Structure 1
Amino acid sequence: MEEGGGVSNNNSANNVAQAIATALDWASTPHARQQAVAFLDSVKAGDIRVLANTAFLLVKKNWSSEIRLHAFKMLQNLVRLRWDELSPAEHKNFANLSIDLMSEIADPCENWALKSQTAALVAEIVRREGLNLWQEMLPSFISLSSKGPIEAELVAMMLRWLPEDITVHNEDLEGDRRRLLLRGLTQSLPEILPLFYTLLERHFTAALNEAGRKQMDIAKLHAATVTATLNAVNAYAEWAPLSDLVKSGIIHGCGVLLSAPDFRLHASEFFKLVSPRKRPIDASASEFDQAMSSIFQTLMNVSREFLYRSGSAPGSIDEGEFEFIEYICESMVSLGSYNLQSVAGDSTILPLYLEQMMRFFQHFKFAIHSQSLHFWLVLMRDLMSKPKTSTHSAADSSAVSNTGPGEVENSKKKTLSFVNDEFCGAILDTSFPRLLKREKILHETAVSLGVLELWSDNFEGKGTFSQYRSKLLELIRFVSSYKPLIAATKVSEKINTIIKASPALTQDLAVTESMQLALENVVNAVFDGSNDFTKANAEVQFALCRTFEGLLQQFISLKWTEPALVEVLVHYLDAMGPFLKYFPDAVGSVINKLFEMLTSLPLVIKDTSLIGVRHARLQTCTSFIRIAKAADKSILPHMKGIADTMACLQREGRLLQGEHNLLGEAFLVMASSAGIQQQQEVLTWLLEPLSVQWTQMEWQDKYLSGPHGLVQLCSESSVMWSIFHTVTFFERALKRSGLKKANWNSENSSAPNSAPLNPMASHISWMLTPLLKLLRVIHSLWSPSVSQSLPGEVRAAMIMNDVERFSLLGEGNSKLQKGSSTVTDGSKVDTGKEGYGEPNESDIRNWLKGIRDSGYNVLGLSTTMGDSFFKYLDVHYVAIALMENIQSMEFRHIRQLVHSTLIPLVKHCPLDMWEIWLEKLLHPLFVHVQQALSCSWSSLLQDGRANVPDVHGILGGSDLKVEVMEETLLRDLTREMCSLLTVIASPPLNTGIPSLEQSGHVNRLDMSSLKSLDTVASCSMVGFLLKQEGLALPTLRMCLEAFKWTDGEAVTKISSYCSALVVLAILTDHMELIEYVSRDLFTSIIQGLALESNAIISADLVGICREIFVYLCDRHPAPRQVLLSLPCITPHDLLAFEESLTKTSSPKEQKQLMRSLLQLATGNKLKALAAQKSVNIITNVSMRPRSSNAPESKVDDGEPVGLAAII
């Protein structure tokens, strides 16, 4: 390999340079850039020696930085992907030329990016060549580092790249090569680590000396070397033996640099990486503990100084120092979370450490507080865990796996002894005000909190407020479980202070509401059962009872009448629910208080500005459900009193139907605690009045006989909402009395009647018949012949509202329409004018949506009844009601129907009813949806518009927003249909399909063991579908098309169905299926791997390809034909692949062989496989984002550099 190469090489270099310049110049025309990129691709794929010589010419100094950077990428690409095409002598020549580049680029005028690229290239060569080259080159690298600061920086950069593949999995590096690299680097640590220490000491001292002499340019060179060395040290910090890091002085050196403002952030990164190191189980554990103890003391010294200054003169600390301390705190958190065992026996260090972590937790800076929150949460979670439970964290994380249970428990007890009452009180006192959000409180409240930083939406990189608050509440629960009396006292005092001291409760609701969450978590922790309150000390029991009784009496005595305050008070009473379970004497007063608040709020609300009153009434009724759940059997003696009050209020017209439904649901919850007989009696009491009205033919004939009747219904508000509440109560009743989800497949057993009869089973028939009529007529509104003749108000109500559109656009912060209330089942309906006035467009839209939501859910829940649904309902009428107008349904409605009704139906359909039910319901669905999805996806991929029916008629909004909504709707339906196919392929519905491993066949199949598809279909729903041509064809088409759609989530879902098809093709003698799998499916999966969106599922897809080839290539020619049709494969490649397959029976190794073959056969064009690798390719050092106040360091001001930036 020649470095120059004559005129031809110079011409080639000029041409490549021009192409690079054109490709990077945005002033170039798109056509010119496209041609330039194509030319560069051809060079990289062309003659490897021309490529190497050209690239070596272009990295010279006479070219621009952009061209040189691109040339380095070309060289790195060559080493990674085409190294084996060069001879050993050429390897040696290439390596020497690259090492020479390090000396040539050691120039103060060279920019950091080019130096980084050079070091990365040499590191890549070392990885490719392996141990021998590394051992040969190491002495020369050490010698080069002593020549000057730039050379030392380059050596540090190169050493930083080398171990990347040890800690970051890289598909490009096989296991043996990775082990050899690790061995070589480990053997070289006695030379590498002292070199790092020498470089740190030498150049840190030189930087200080030169800065003292005002030689700032030279000082910067030495400083850059220190930074590069720290980055290199950090690459070894996670895996190099801790004892080696101690002996070499690295830990001491990085500790010293914590006091240097220019280097402390990089030095703190080292401690962040070392702190969570796992404690060894051999004799070196004591050395490990000593090293960790020194790290504890180093970080605690830094923390002590900061905490002193922060407490005495907080104004003297700038943002840069706060950021640094946040990093230190993060390392302290890691130490305590993973290696507290190392100092658990030190009665001097441990209490001081806990005190510092408490002061961090109490700190006014939110970033510091939130870091330490993680430590206290992990510590308390671990300390409060049961002896049999072991987690990897906190006081005994390393001890759990390395010592006996007795030592672990002793360690816990000792650590707990330091977490005393004062600590627990401080945690609670700090946590309560931090439950507030800055944007939610009054200015006066913010002023009263002083410098305390509350959560703000302006914070970046801190997650969401709900995530932070949930962690804080979890910590409150742990502390409450450990010290219940302190928690009860603290939360009671705080609430009483707020209630008595705040002059404007209605204006500053956030403060009052926040303590409801605290109370809820304290009460749950004390009375949740796991704490075994009944076994607590009698004195503690009495004190707790007295505290919570006093608080409850305080709540009951309040005379709040403002709707917002009533809601808060209702939530406080909800929070006391678990207390009521142990103190049933208080239940009656709580129930009376709830009814008192309900009746104190006006019933008739004609003024929409008073919608808060309506919501407060709903929340009060919902509270009965929550109290019934929490109080359990304590509420049973009060059922008759509640029923009498309900009846009285209903007779007097003081209870709306929706409110009655919520109270009825509470009764169902109560009855579930009393037993099946009581449950059946309550259901009869609640449902009989409804059945009388619901089954009357007069209203059905009047309103449900056709679209005109429904239009009339939409003009009669009271009837319309009465129907809505009836359907939603059916839904609640089914949810409260249904079978547990864990038993979802019980109906598929050989004895359908073996499941216990559901108390709702006898009500299914009369409930569903009118509901199906109602859904059928609603569906008909969207048919073209009907919709054209509808009144304008009804047509407008059929179009999505702003809330739905905001949801599709991902704009989740949009406010619900005025009057929208969330009820307990999660549905949102505008009930603000329920029963009053003429329904408007919004009312009709909400009603249609509510009926559809609850109606589909009622049908889906009813399928859990087994025979009561499948044998006593007319399948023909069900199919008409749901599928008659399937071709007119919008995508969002089909998705909802599939999700809420059809998936449960498929799950619960008894095996002996498959032929009756599945054909009727799934055939029209599959046929229509497959065609609709195919059309919309084709439109999206070709024209950029999905053209779904849902957005037709929407006025306003940009075309771009409409396109986004269309695509979202298309993807949602696609994924739901793929989910349906996933359910159909699920193991409980396919007991007749064993896994290939279970069948005992590893590589080839015994032909005598093949079964007929008929045999398998009797106990496999996938097999059953394949027998029904009308069901099979659209699903098989959908499988093929899904791999062309750019939706990795959909492919992930449908892949299990494809796997089932493959297994059936392997285990049966069905030739049409074998042909489909061997040719069509195999081809489509390979095409799917060409899409980067399928990277997430690429491993599974390669596994399916492996199964198709391994098991079917001897039974059908298609698998070999498909592979040979790929552009870059030869018959010799395929033969070598098959020979390799015969040498291993490991599915994992066979998958890797298949993966490599597919990449070879397609010329590395399978983006799903390339994308998976790209996330592991070496990148430049990336630490946490630095704030603008942090000391500046050299960074790449262009595109990504290093080995990650391959074009």
Structure 2
Amino acid sequence: FHEQIKSGDVRVLGGTAFALSSQNQPLEVRHYGLKLLQHLVRIRWDELNHEEKGKMTGMVLDMVKEFATPHEAWSMKSQTAALVAEVTRREEPDVWKGMLKSLLPISDMSPVHAEMVAMVMRWLPEDVIVHNEDLETTRRRQLLSELTESLPQLFPFFYKLLEKHFGAGMEAMHLQQMELAKQHAAVVTAALQAVLVYAEWSPVTNFSSYGLVEACGFLINSPEFRLAACEILKQLLSRRKPYDEDVELFNSVLARVYEILSSVCDAYFVHYDGGGSAPLEFAECLCEALVALGSQNLQVISSNNQKLATYYRQMLKFLQHSEFPLHVQALPLWLGLLRDSLSVERNKVIIARPTVVVPIETASVLLDVAFQKLLKDGQEEEFTSAVDYSQYRGRLIELIRLVAHHHHDLGITKKISSQVFILHSILLSNPSLQEYFILESTHTMLDAVVTGCFARGGTSELLDGLLQRLLTVHWSEPELVEIHAKCFDALVPYIKNVPTAVPTVIQKLFQLLVTVPVVSKEASSTNSKARFQVCTSFLRIAKLAGPALFPHMQIVAETMTRLQQERHLLRGEYILLGESLLVAGSTAGYEQQNQVLEWLLGPFRDYWCHSDWQQKYLCDPAGFVRLLGTTTTENLSGDEGMWYIFHSIHFFEKALRRCAAGVEGNPSSHPMAVHMSWILPPLIQLLRCLHSLWIPSILSTLPPPVRQAIHLSASEQASILGESKTVDHKEDELRNWLKSVRDSGYNVLRYASSRLGNQFFVNMSGLSGPLATGLMESLSSMEFRHLRSLVHSVIQSFVRFCPQSLREVWLGQLLPPLLVHCHATLPLAWENLVREGAVKTGTLFAVDGSSGINTELVEERMLRELTREVCTLLAIMASSELNPEQQPGMLCSYALWFNIYFFLRSYVIQHSAAAFATVHLGIQSLQWPDSDAVHRGAVFCGAVIDVAGPLNDTNLREIVGKDMFTAIIQSLTLESNSAAHAELLGLLREILVKLSPHTSTPKQVSPSAP
């Protein structure tokens, strides 16, 4: 019945709505009547003729008078005001002027009438500042123009309401007429709320010209109205100067606003310091207003040193305030001011607002506050999540670093002496674990200060003493050893300026490493964390102080060898230390880097090239399964086992990534180039065996632990969905190994192709066949998540960097099976998703981990990610960057080498199935409901169109003119493709222009297209 009334005759709807909203009806019925009227005005207003519209407008205005009674529900008054505003927005421009003349006199009838008129004025500009899809852009522009023209009438009206009813309310209070005083107060509140809406868009200078700034300055001293008045002034300070406003007038208005707020702020602090209290909400609004001034319009006071000093003092008080929300609101202001100064200093850029120099006295207070807050425990209770708390601490650390950067002289550096003395006092004693939080916070502050102060160089007697103390202290608890290593981390920017300290620091780090015993996996993780932190400290020294570390690399290498022989060094730790040597060696020159690399890779090569383990584990899947049982030797640095193999591959990846290119950046002289010949053959065979585990005939024979490990666990599902879930590392050890080996193995191939360049493809061309077999042999059994990783990490890199002369050798074996497989699986998966809501990818889910996880969402996410990577591959193939040898002026300049040389020219000859699959894969990608895939697929389709015209291939022209043309038109109907309409329409135009001279197919298809 409700829908029948709304969709029935519009005149019956109007009569019914007015009858239901009359005052003799119950409140619920009247609410329903107003809802019907709002529906009529918003949706069906144009169905009324001019006379009916005029009559209804008059009736709506009469409702303002009718509902303006002292005991009327506020909701009825508010909805009626909104209805009047809606009628005004729907009517023609000249109607607004007449309604304004009718509305303003109504306000003189009573305080309640004045309140309702103010409500109408508050609702009226809603569509100017809030996007309303029901209102056309042209009408919205007209409304803004009408309201702007009416401001000379509206602003004096608002001022009159504020002045008249505030005075009348005070008089009523004096006469103990409380009910009347409430009515006058409601008028003032409604007027202030209306002014606030106009403060968001109307010219700032008008607020001063018509006295509204002074009115707010007066009302902000009234407890009842100060919050609303402060909101208006805050909004004005947040405004950016429009191009059509005079700069001096604009700044003068905001300067006056600041004077008002400054006076209020000083009064607030006097009251607060005297033991008084004020509502936190008002103090927050006041703080936000002053933050808005500093963030948007600091030019208002920046030229006046006295005002600027006052502003700094006030914002420091908010930063130091005991009310935590005020402190948090003031913090971003100081970060913004210091960041701006740093940007100007470093980049010589010109920013929109003026930069100011924070005085050293102010900087000192900023450091004090940051230190105090970082050392204070229990503040996480002030935040709703651990992420928010972490971000807050991050802002404090950034504040320390920025202050230290701007004031890096010893005067401000000595300001940290109290914090250093805290560290000294703890170092002198045997600290308890209860002091861990203080020690952690002090280390964090030290890191920020040293980073800011000593990035440019220099020394400090204060830090000299601290470094010596760190070198002499002896701790054995893993938690304290971890902090000890972090303190060295913090001092690295300083240490690199004191090269003589490097050998003693290295010696101390090795002592710390030996202090914490090597433990088994079942032991507490605190030992592992402490040892990992010590190794990470080596890496940080190498990154920031590589030249200072290089002369002592021999000491590091010899110590690593000794600790390894004594079983004091895990394989993962050995790799971290080795990585630090690679980083340091890359700064010393090509020859030195070769020496370091040869020394580090020697032990790996001895085992990796040995035929025994390859024959034992890599000849067939059964042997590979036996490898997965050799987990007990992970703690033994030199013994065989699956973890040794993983660490070997991981180090190959690190070496490829960390080593710098050869002389003058020439990739052909990359230090790793000579090592790929012995690294790749076992790696390829290893990946081949790994891929084979998912083949159904092999999967059914796997031992239960291995079969369970290849299933998608609950934690992996949560990660795919962007959720968090606790991982049982012991239970997932085998699963983690399989994933880590796959990822590192793919990355070795990725970095080898991208960093070694042509030399890799030339020297390793003999391995192109085994590599294609290893990667593509089990393609039909590969899960979507694994195929996505393969395409992203390996195939895309090979397509980007393979030289043109070797593309048939490498890509001719990799791309055809991959693209044919993708064409066979992706369209079917998308069809299942669209029709049945489930992808049905065949992903193996862990039986004990699927509960509570929506497996269909997981499969859909994996399908989308794979589709986007495949479409990215197509877009890379269509990149003009891959055809650098093409001369300007050649046909199909946008098309890639792949289209011309390898793909389209070989359409029927060499790779006809792959060519057919690839073209249709690109076409079908336009019809799948994934906007990212559509954007990338459109790039490829554009290249195919470019080639189809000049290339004399009837089949290709038929596919483009019919299949692609129809698919593009169908894709325009998908809601998910709304952002790609311009690209899709451009493809249609290209087909018509470039294929019309050769075939009439597009024109024949157009009339029958959907």
TM range (shorter): 0.7 to 0.9
Change (3 A) 1:301 1:728: same
Change (3 A) 1:606 1:382: closer
TM alignment of 1:1052-1067, pairs within 5 A: 1054=937, 1056-1057=939-940
TM alignment of 1:912-1061, pairs within 5 A: 912-955=805-848, 957-958=850-851, 961-986=854-879, 988-989=881-882, 1030-1031=913-914, 1034=917, 1047-1048=930-931, 1050-1051=933-934, 1054=937, 1056-1057=939-940
- What residue is the counterpart of 2:669 in the other structure? 757
Unaligned runs of 5+ in 1: 1-14, 21-39, 401-411, 447-453, 534-540, 741-745, 747-752, 819-829, 831-840, 1000-1008, 1127-1207
Shift of 1:19: 5.0
Contact kept? 2:886, 2:893, Cα under 8 Å: no
- Aligned mate of 1:897, from 785, 790, 804: 790
Q: Tell me if 1:727 matches 2:649.
A: yes
Instruction: Report the secondary structure of 2:520's partner residue.
Output: coil
Shift of 1:929: 4.1
TM alignment of 1:625-1024, pairs within 5 A: 625-717=539-631, 718=633, 719-737=641-659, 757-812=669-724, 814-817=725-728, 842-864=732-754, 865-871=756-762, 872-873=764-765, 874-955=767-848, 957-958=850-851, 961-986=854-879, 988-989=881-882
Q: Tell me if 1:524 matches 2:435.
A: no
Shift of 1:942: 4.6
Contact kept? 2:962, 2:1005, Cα under 8 Å: no
Look up the equivalent residue of 1:71 and give its one-letter code: L
Change (3 A) 1:921 1:307: farther
Shift of 1:731: 0.8
Contact kept? 2:931, 2:979, Cα under 8 Å: no
Contact kept? 1:809, 1:961, Cα under 8 Å: no
Contact kept? 2:867, 2:933, Cα under 8 Å: yes
Normalising by structure 1, report the TM-score.
0.74
Contact kept? 2:926, 2:968, Cα under 8 Å: no
- What residue is the counterpart of 1:34 in the other structure? none
Shift of 1:191: 1.0
CA displacement, residues 65-100 of structure 1 (integer Å, 9 cap, x when unaligned)? 564354244334436xx84x7766666556555545
- Aligned mate of 1:483, from 388, 407, 418: 407
CA displacement, residues 576-595 of structure 1 (integer Å, 9 cap, x when unaligned)? 11212221111111111111
Contact kept? 1:131, 1:184, Cα under 8 Å: yes
- What residue is the counterpart of 1:196 in the other structure? 158
Look up the equivalent residue of 2:813 and give its one-letter code: K
Change (3 A) 1:55 1:68: closer
Instruction: Report the secondary structure of 1:609's partner residue.
Output: coil
- What residue is the counterpart of 1:431 in the other structure? 370
Look up the equivalent residue of 1:519 and give its one-letter code: L
Change (3 A) 1:173 1:18: closer
Instruction: Report the secondary structure of 2:587's partner residue.
Output: helix
Contact kept? 1:797, 1:845, Cα under 8 Å: yes
Shift of 1:693: 1.8
Instruction: Report the secondary structure of 2:433's partner residue.
Output: coil
Shift of 1:707: 1.4
Look up the equivalent residue of 2:772 and give its one-letter code: A
Shift of 1:770: 0.9
- What residue is the counterpart of 1:1101 in the other structure? 981
Look up the equivalent residue of 2:503 and give its one-letter code: G
Look up the equivalent residue of 2:390 and give its one-letter code: S
Look up the equivalent residue of 2:208 and give its one-letter code: V
Contact kept? 1:739, 1:758, Cα under 8 Å: yes
Aligned mates of 2:228, 2:532 — CA distance in 1: 56
Aligned mates of 1:757, 1:186 — CA distance in 2: 70
Look up the equivalent residue of 2:422 and give its one-letter code: T
Instruction: Report the secondary structure of 1:799's partner residue.
Output: coil
Contact kept? 1:1013, 1:1068, Cα under 8 Å: no
CA displacement, residues 901-927 of structure 1 (integer Å, 9 cap, x when unaligned)? 233233323344444444533343344
TM alignment of 1:236-635, pairs within 5 A: 236-279=198-241, 284-313=246-275, 316-317=276-277, 321-386=279-344, 397-398=352-353, 415-416=356-357, 419-435=358-374, 441=377, 446=378, 454-456=379-381, 458-459=383-384, 464-484=388-408, 485-498=410-423, 500-501=425-426, 504-529=431-456, 533=457, 541=458, 544-603=459-518, 605-606=519-520, 608-635=522-549
Change (3 A) 1:203 1:817: farther
Look up the equivalent residue of 1:242 and give its one-letter code: V
Aligned mates of 1:911, 1:124 — CA distance in 2: 66
Contact kept? 1:570, 1:623, Cα under 8 Å: yes
Instruction: Report the secondary structure of 2:712's partner residue.
Output: coil
Look up the equivalent residue of 1:817 and give its one-letter code: D
Aligned mates of 2:597, 2:230 — CA distance in 1: 65
Change (3 A) 1:1042 1:1015: closer
CA displacement, residues 625-651 of structure 1 (integer Å, 9 cap, x when unaligned)? 110111131222112222222233334
Aligned mates of 1:206, 1:214 — CA distance in 2: 12
Shift of 1:333: 0.6
Most deviating of 900-909 and 844-853: 900-909
Look up the equivalent residue of 2:331 and give its one-letter code: L
Sequence identity, in percent? Answer: 37
- What residue is the counterpart of 2:636 in the other structure? none
Change (3 A) 1:249 1:891: same
Contact kept? 1:738, 1:861, Cα under 8 Å: no
- What residue is the counterpart of 2:638 in the other structure? none
Look up the equivalent residue of 1:490 and give its one-letter code: K
Aligned residues: 983
Most deviating of 956-965 and 363-372: 956-965
Normalising by structure 2, report the TM-score.
0.87
TM alignment of 1:204-243, pairs within 5 A: 204-208=166-170, 219-243=181-205
Contact kept? 1:207, 1:222, Cα under 8 Å: yes
Shift of 1:107: 5.2
Contact kept? 1:1066, 1:1074, Cα under 8 Å: no
Look up the equivalent residue of 1:581 and give its one-letter code: K
Change (3 A) 1:149 1:969: farther
Shift of 1:775: 1.0
Instruction: Report the secondary structure of 2:201's partner residue.
Output: coil
Shift of 1:285: 2.9
Look up the equivalent residue of 2:462 and give its one-letter code: T
Shift of 1:936: 4.3
Change (3 A) 1:1075 1:1045: closer
Root-mean-square deviation (Å): 4.0
Aligned mates of 1:1124, 1:260 — CA distance in 2: 72
Contact kept? 1:738, 1:760, Cα under 8 Å: no
Look up the equivalent residue of 1:641 and give its one-letter code: I
- What residue is the counterpart of 1:1112 in the other structure? 992
Contact kept? 2:961, 2:1001, Cα under 8 Å: no
Look up the equivalent residue of 2:981 and give its one-letter code: L
TM alignment of 1:17-28, pairs within 5 A: 17=2, 19=4
Look up the equivalent residue of 2:446 and give its one-letter code: L
Shift of 1:1083: 1.2
Most deviating of 756-765 and 170-179: 170-179
Change (3 A) 1:594 1:285: same
CA displacement, residues 687-708 of structure 1 (integer Å, 9 cap, x when unaligned)? 2332232122221111011111
Change (3 A) 1:760 1:612: same
Contact kept? 1:629, 1:670, Cα under 8 Å: yes
Shift of 1:106: 4.2
Look up the equivalent residue of 2:468 and give its one-letter code: Q
The structure showing larger relative contact order (alpha-carbon pairs under 8 Å, at least 6 residues apart) is 1
